[in-house]
Structure 1
Amino acid sequence: MKKNFMFVAIAAGLLLSSCASKKDLVNCQTENKQLTTSLQSAREDLAARTARVQSLEEQLAAQKAALAEQKKQMAKLQNSLDKSLTNASQNNVSIEKLVDQINESNQYIRHLVEVKSKSDSLNLVLQNNLTRSLSKEELKEVDVQVLKGVVYISLADNMLYKSGSYEINDRAAQTLEKIAKIITDYKDYDVLIEGNTDDVPISKQNIRNNWDLSCLRASSVVQCLQTKYGVDPKRLTAGGRGQYNPLQSNDTEVGRQRNRRTQIIITPKLDEFMELIGEAPETK
């Protein structure tokens, strides 16, 4: 009897120990899953922040290059003027005629500068209005810049879409609403939505490859701007460039993060821009 009691006691102890061990194992597995999710989220956030810093550095470099190009053009104009004066002196050309030619050329140059300044000013105002409307958190994932008279709004894919999908997620709604308001306010601009991916292959139902994914994502944004926020569809164009327009190498997570993006490209309507420029003066 005593032996049986001891056997039951030992069995009960082992059973309780087994239950406790199983419970500890489940707790460890749950904690490990949570830590893995947090680590992945931290990695994606770090990649996005690093990509943002690199984008700002590229903007600064582009502005410096543009300034250097302007100085170069001014030097060319000055050199051309010096040559004209030298030729006039050597060939006894009428000073009055030369002055007229110089004045006409200067007038045309001023005209072009005024047109470019007007276009740049409008685009800078558009850029500033959009940037001011976005929150600090949104600016971490939205890159706004003006390059050669065109406004580029670049949005990270993890902000816009569900992972590996072209469906727009809920957190993108507020940002797209602000962008749609700016687009609606500037009626003289056309809008191109351009999808871009990294080079990691994708194979899902109804999505054959990255070409499909980039086009479907651009189309989703276009339809969202039209149906939810009332942007005139005649101003919108959707296009996809797949993996073939990378900003950086796809060999790193940061590079892939930068390449997975959707760009909203806002440009002045071509016919109105040409009317601003007008015709060039005849060459004499």
Structure 2
Amino acid sequence: MTNDNPVAVVTGAGRGIGRALAIRLATDGFDVAGTWNRDEKAADETKSRVEDLGRRCLMYRSDVSDPGATASLVEQVASDFGQVDAVVHNAGIASRGRFVSDTEPAEIQRVLAVHALGAFYLCSGLAPILRKSTRGSIVLMSSVATSNPSPGGAPYMMGKAALEALAQTLGLEERTHGTRVNVVAPGLVATDMGDRLARALTGADDAASLDAAMPFGRVTRPADVADLVSFLVSNAAAQVTGQRIEIHGGKPEVTR
């Protein structure tokens, strides 16, 4: 089958930035193939929000760190939609905030598997399908942590750094097939994960309570990130590839 609308695959689409991405891309005219892993109720809410916009949405439970699960996901999306035009790898997890000397091997393996290996499995499976699109685009969600590191976050920063290396290589490989590859690197974002980070580093109740400390008057919201991704996968960005764009409201560090 061939879809009438362009199709976007969004990992981690159940909540936070992922939900904002699904909604914004649906607003832009995309049908959405979203993934979730833990919160089925949240995934159903994302699906309803996209369908309320008149777009098709299927939500797949899938563990991005599992190569077999990702291969099955790619096969199912291809069968259900018949095409893929944009891929946004957004799924991610936080590390425990321990120093390298206190980090267990299982911790770093878990975080790298989601951020770096998960992105690799997904892009490896979907790249051949994207080549058939006239507007193929991949956006990998990284973090300002790779350019603004802090103690206690080695697994997370290593995972994101490896993801960025993948993006650089993939962009060179796929440009001959017409697929663009870019990286978006948010700073603190007002999500559940952002709230936990804000509490851990500043003692604030949540990320939004740091609004007054930000140069532009507020912490970045999921919709801000979705707006940037919307541009990168659009025809307006047809000449944009191989770029890493930070979005943090002028303050990459998480401090009061």
Same fold judged by TM-score > 0.5?
Answer: no
Output the TM-score relative to the length of structure 1.
Answer: 0.32
Output the TM-score relative to the length of structure 2.
Answer: 0.35
Please state which structure has a larger fraction of its residues in helix: 1
